[in-house]
A and B are shown apart, each in its own frame.
Chain A
C-alpha cells in the first residue's frame, strides 16, 4: 500500500477514534442533571401531586433525558417506578428507567429516561404510598439531529467491506513486484 494511502488511513482512523471518544463523552454528559431544569411540569399521580423536572427540552433522541420527580407536600414514604413510553406513531418499545434518591429533595427521586427514537414520548410515573397507588403520564418531545438519506446510510454501512476489498486490491501490486525477478 502506498505510504500516502497508509497515512490517509491512519488519519481517518484517528479522526474516527476522536469522534467516538467525543460521542462517548456526550453520552455520559447527557445523563447528568444540570443546575436548572429546562421544563417543570406540575402533575397529579392519583392522590399525589408531583413536580416533574426535565433537564433537556426537547429531549435528544438517542441520548438520555435527565429528570427529577419531587412530591409536593409529602416528605418521603413514596416509591416510584418510571418508564419511557413511546407516543402515538413512534416505532419503539417502552423502556423501564432506573431512579435513585435525589439528594437535593427529601422524598424525591431522579434518573435519566432512555429515549431511543424521535417523536412524542410519555414519562410514565407509577407512585405507591400510604394513600394507595397512583399513575400519571407526563408528555415530552424528543428530537433527532438532521437526517441523512437512506442511500448515504447504506454507503457508510458498507465501509468495512470497502476496507476489505481495498486491502486486497492494494496488496496485489506488492505481490507482482515480489514475483518479478530481482
Chain B
C-alpha cells in the first residue's frame, strides 16, 4: 500500500524500493479514480471497526471469565463470559471473511482495486489484515472445543497457562492485530486521497486495536509471577515475567510506531490500553454479582468486589511506551534503543499493591535470580523489538507487492 511504503521509506530510505510500484502496471496517483479507492478505505475502516469492537468484547469477556473462574469455578461451557468471548471472535471472523470476499469480488471487476489488494492462494484478493484476522479468529474458534476436550480429559484448571487457553488468547489477540492492519491500511489509503478525517479515524482505530492486541496478550503474563513462572536452572532460579513482558511490549509497541505515523503512537496505545482496563474495573464486578444471582451460584471464596484483572494489571508498559516515543524522536537507527526502553517492563508494578510483584521476585529468586531474569528480559526486549519492526515492515512490504 503506497502510504505505508512512503512511511517505511521515510525511516529506511532505499532507492530500490521506490522502484517496486513502477514495475507493476499502475496509474499515476493524480489519475486514480478516487471514488473506487474511497470505497475501498471505507470498507476497510468499517470492517476494521467491527474487528475492533469484537476484540474489545473479547477482552472484556476474558476478564469477566477470569473473575468467574476465580470466584465460582468453571461450571457450564456456555456461560455468559464464554458467550461474550465467542461473540467477539465471531464478529472479528465474520468481518474478516466479509472483507476477503467483498474485496475479491471487487478486485475482479476493478483493476485499480486489485492493485491495492494482496493476492492469496490464487483465489482471493484482499487486505493483509483481512487474512490475518480471518485465520486468527478461526484459530480462536477452533480452540474453544479443543479446550472443552482438554478439560473433559484433565479436569477444570483455572490457570491461564493451559494449552488451549494459550491458543484461544493467541487467536483473539492476532484477530485484533489483523484489525489493526485493516485500519492502518484504511488510514494509509485515506491519507493518499487527502481525506484527513478518515486518515485520523483509521490510525486512531489502529491505535485502539493495537491496545486490544496488547491487552489480550497480557493475559498470558498473569501466571508468570506464580511458582509456575519460575524455572530452576540449578545454580539460579529465573522468572519468565520479564521475558514475557518485554517481548510483548517490544513487539506490540514497536509494531505500532512502525505502522502508525504519529509521534505519540506508542503512548496512545498504552493510554487506550489503560482505558480498556478501566472499563474492566467498572464492568466486571457488577456483571459477576448479577450473573451469580441469575445462575443461582455461590461464591467459592469471598467476593472482593474488584476486578482481579484490573488490579493485577502491569503498569510499566505505559512508561515503556512513553520512552519509545521519546527515543524515536529524531533518531535514525533506534532498534537497540527501543529494546532498552522495553526493559522497563521487567518491573512488575500493579495498581492494587504496586511493589508486591517486585518483592515476590526478590524473595523467591534472590539478587542473582533477579539479575538473571532481567537478562532474560533483555533477550525478550530485543526479540520483541525485532518482531515488532519485522511485523511493521511485513505489512508495508506485503501491501507494496500487491
Binding site for B on A (CB under 8 A): 3, 6-7, 9-10, 13, 16-17, 19-20, 23, 27, 61-62, 90-96, 114, 116-118, 142, 144-145, 147-148, 150, 153-154, 156-161, 163-164, 167-168, 171-172, 174-175, 178-182
Contact = CB atoms under 8 A, between A and B. Distances in A.
Interface stretch (B14-22, B202-210, B233-241, B307-315): B14-22
Contacts of A114: 75-77
Interface residues of B, number: 62
B253 to A, nearest CB: 16
A158 B19 CA distance: 38
B17 A178 contact: yes
B362 interface: no
Interface stretch (B101-109, B280-288, B333-341, B385-393): B385-393
Closest 10 CB pairs of A and B: A91-B155, A93-B73, A157-B163, A160-B170, A61-B152, A171-B394, A153-B163, A62-B152, A6-B121, A144-B152
Contact of B120 (A6, A20, A157): A6
Interface in B74-120: 74-77, 120
B163 A160 contact: no
Nearest to A114: B76
B156 A92 contact: yes
B36 interface: no
A3 B122 contact: yes
Contacts of A172: 390, 394
B297 A171 contact: no
A38 B149 CA distance: 23
A163 B387 CA distance: 13
Interface stretch (B139-147, B224-232, B367-375): B139-147
B174 A117 contact: no
Given A157-B163, A159-B139, A167-B394, 19 more contacts: A9-B121, A19-B142, A27-B145, A62-B148, A62-B151, A91-B154, A96-B75, A116-B156, A117-B152, A144-B153, A147-B153, A156-B146, A156-B164, A158-B170, A160-B136, A160-B139, A163-B135, A178-B400, A182-B19
B75 A93 contact: yes
B398 interface: yes
A116 B138 contact: no
B73 to A, nearest CB: 3
A161 B163 CA distance: 12
Nearest to B20: A178
- Which label, helix, strand, loop or mixed, suits the secondary structure of the B interface? helix
B23 interface: yes
Contacts of B197: none
Contacts of B14: 179
B17 A179 contact: yes
A53 B353 CA distance: 53
A167 B146 CA distance: 24
A96 B295 contact: yes
Contacts of A96: 75, 295-297
A172 B170 CA distance: 22
A147 B149 CA distance: 9
A10 B17 contact: no
Interface of B: 14, 16-17, 19-20, 22-23, 72-77, 120-123, 132, 134-136, 138-143, 145-146, 148-157, 162-167, 170-171, 173-174, 295-297, 300, 387, 390-391, 393-394, 397-398, 400-401
Contacts of B140: 160
A6 B397 contact: no
A16 B138 contact: yes
Contact of A163 (B22, B148, B163, B174): B174
Contacts of A27: 145
A144 B152 CA distance: 6
A96 B139 CA distance: 30
Contacts of B136: 160, 163
Given A62-B152, A168-B387, A175 B394 contact: yes
A156 B139 CA distance: 11
Nearest to A148: B153
A13 B317 CA distance: 34
Contacts of A95: 75-76
B170 A153 contact: no
22 contacts: A7-B122, A10-B123, A17-B138, A19-B142, A20-B141, A62-B77, A92-B73, A148-B153, A156-B163, A156-B164, A157-B162, A157-B165, A160-B136, A160-B167, A163-B174, A164-B174, A168-B391, A171-B397, A174-B401, A178-B17, A182-B20, A182-B22
A182 B123 contact: no
A158 B220 CA distance: 12
Contacts of A3: 121-122
B120 A90 contact: no
A179 B393 contact: no
A10 B394 CA distance: 20
A23 B135 CA distance: 18
Contacts of A167: 132, 394
Contacts of B397: 171, 174-175, 178
B163 A154 contact: yes
Contacts of B174: 160, 163-164
A158 B174 CA distance: 12
Contact of A6 (B122, B134, B157, B166): B122
B152 A178 contact: no
